[in-house]
């Protein structure tokens, strides 16, 4: 009886151990399945794949590690660049960037705060550019003489028009055209020449200003875009910085100064107090109004190999390098000709750091493609 008792006891213990093992195995399998699956309305839903942290050398992007360390080549600390999925079935995303050597990237809110990312919105603005130039009060005996010669030639031409001597009329007409050409070379336009042919415009202001003064401003050729006759001009002199002389551009020289690479812009300003003296140095500002244009801040734009681009921001935290065609530039803004739409969200600061990340991802993607 005792032997049978011990035999039964051993059999029961064996069965219990086998049952415990099977329960443990099944529980482990269930827990593993629970990690990757959940149920919503009695339907299984796959959870996002597990992610890991990636560390990369900023100077050698092909050096990659799953833990902090140093680069074996340059010994720089590996930098945490992004979290990537362990699911390697499709390791290379399809970038939508239209900039060579750069891919779109994703940054979480915490990383955006860490590197100081700020955003702006593409909008229409009234663009005004201010061109600053050196100038002086005119003392121009040559132009004064040319104006008087033209006036005399014009007066003579009016007198001989009713005459019958064809040869004399021809000579006077040629003299008139010659003096007119000389005025053009000295910087006067057609409308200004037509105005001064009568005595209403006092050319003595070119020698001794009397209630009105001519100002000559020398504008660099690369700043001439948008400058036209009739635009407002502001001028000050060092001795009276709070005194501003306001006038309008009367003519723009057709001749470029080869030594200074400037173009002379002439304007007439009122001087009722008689403050301005010939050859007085002046600081000149010309305001150019371009009207309402689609514009973005200058700080938001990056330049690379002839391309200008910004980082377009999507709601899911994706940053996309986007090529833009730029127009006129003001002090703080660029006109957008093509590439962006009104109300688009763009990066306005820390874009250099985002650009570095974008280039690193592009290099990694190319390396993975070559490996595959």
229 is a domain residue:
no
The total number of structural domains in the chain stands at 4
Mean pLDDT check: name the lowest of 110-119, 230-239, 358-367: 358-367
Tell me the β-bridge partners of 128: 289
Q: Report the pLDDT value the prediction gives residue 193, as an integer from 0 to 100.
A: 84
237 is a domain residue:
no
Q: Report the pLDDT value the prediction gives residue 3, as an integer from 0 to 100.
A: 55
**pTM for the model:** 0.61
At residue 307 the predicted structure's pLDDT band, cuts being 50, 70 and 90, is confident
Cα separation, 200 vs 147, in Å, equals 12
Cα separation, 292 vs 303, in Å, equals 25
In the numeric block, the tokens 């443990």 are attached to 24
171 is a domain residue:
yes
208 is a domain residue:
no
213 is a domain residue:
no
Q: Which of 353, 342, 338 has its CA nearest to residue 302?
A: 353
CATH number at residue 354: 2.40.420.20
Q: Are residues 69 and 19 in the same domain?
A: no
65 is a domain residue:
yes
Q: Are residues 64 and 27 in the same domain?
A: no
- The pLDDT tens digits for 117-161 are 999 999 999 999 999 999 999 888 888 888 888 888 888 888 887
Listed residues 187, 202, 217: the one ending a domain: 202
Listed residues 155, 187, 202: the one ending a domain: 202
Domain that holds residue 162: 140-202
Residue 302 has pLDDT above 60, yes or no: yes
| Contact between 263 and 187 (Cβ < 8 Å) | no
Q: Report the pLDDT value the prediction gives residue 141, as an integer from 0 to 100.
A: 85
Mean pLDDT check: name the lowest of 128-137, 161-170, 175-184: 161-170
At residue 18 the predicted structure's pLDDT band, cuts being 50, 70 and 90, is very low
Cα separation, 364 vs 354, in Å, equals 15
Q: What is the DSSP letter of 70?
A: B
Residue 326 has pLDDT above 90, yes or no: yes
362 is a domain residue:
yes
Spell out where 57-172 has E strands: 64-65, 79-85, 105-106, 118-121, 123-137
Q: Three-state SS string across 209-262, please?
A: CCEEEEEEEEEEHHHCCCCCCCCEEEEEECCEEEEEEEEEEEEEEEEEECCCCE
Mean pLDDT, rounded, of the chain: 79
Residue 24 has pLDDT above 60, yes or no: no
- The pLDDT tens digits for 216-271 are 999 999 999 889 998 999 999 988 878 999 999 988 988 898 899 999 999 989 99
268 is a domain residue:
no
């Amino acid at each position: 009886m005792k032997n049978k008792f011990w035999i039964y006891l051993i059999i029961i213990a064996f069965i219990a151990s086998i049952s415990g093992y099977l329960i443990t195995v099944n529980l482990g399998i269930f827990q593993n399945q629970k990690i990757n699956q959940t149920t919503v309305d009695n339907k299984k839903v796959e959870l996002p794949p597990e992610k890991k942290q990636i560390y990369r050398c900023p100077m050698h992007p092909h050096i990659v590690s799953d833990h902090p360390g140093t680069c074996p080549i340059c010994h720089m600390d590996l930098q945490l660049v992004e979290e990537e999925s362990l699911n390697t079935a499709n390791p290379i995303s399809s970038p939508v960037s239209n900039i060579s050597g750069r891919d779109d990237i994703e940054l979480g809110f915490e990383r955006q705060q860490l590197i100081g990312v700020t955003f702006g919105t593409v909008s229409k603005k009234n663009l005004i550019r201010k061109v600053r130039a050196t100038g002086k009060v005119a003392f121009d005996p040559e132009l004064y003489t040319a104006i008087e010669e033209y006036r005399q030639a014009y007066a003579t031409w009016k007198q001989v028009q009713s005459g019958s001597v064809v040869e004399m009329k021809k000579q006077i007409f040629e003299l008139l055209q010659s003096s007119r050409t000389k005025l053009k070379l000295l910087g006067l336009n057609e409308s200004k020449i037509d105005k001064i042919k009568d005595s209403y415009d006092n050319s003595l202001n070119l020698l001794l200003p009397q209630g009105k003064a001519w100002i000559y401003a020398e504008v660099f050729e690369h700043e001439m875009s948008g400058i036209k006759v009739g635009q407002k001009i502001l001028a000050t002199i060092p001795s009276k910085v709070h005194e501003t002389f306001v006038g309008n551009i009367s003519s723009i020289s057709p001749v470029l100064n080869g030594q200074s690479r400037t173009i002379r812009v002439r304007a007439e300003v009122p001087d009722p107090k008689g403050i301005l003296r010939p050859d007085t140095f002046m600081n000149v500002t010309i305001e150019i109004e371009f009207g309402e244009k689609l514009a973005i801040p200058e700080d938001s734009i990056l330049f690379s190999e002839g391309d200008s681009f910004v980082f377009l921001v999507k709601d899911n935290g994706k940053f996309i390098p986007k090529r833009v065609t730029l127009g006129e530039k003001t002090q703080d803004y660029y006109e957008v000709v093509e590439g962006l739409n009104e109300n688009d969200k763009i990066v306005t600061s820390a874009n250099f750091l985002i650009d570095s990340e974008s280039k690193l991802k592009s290099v990694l993607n190319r390396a993975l493609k070559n490996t595959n």
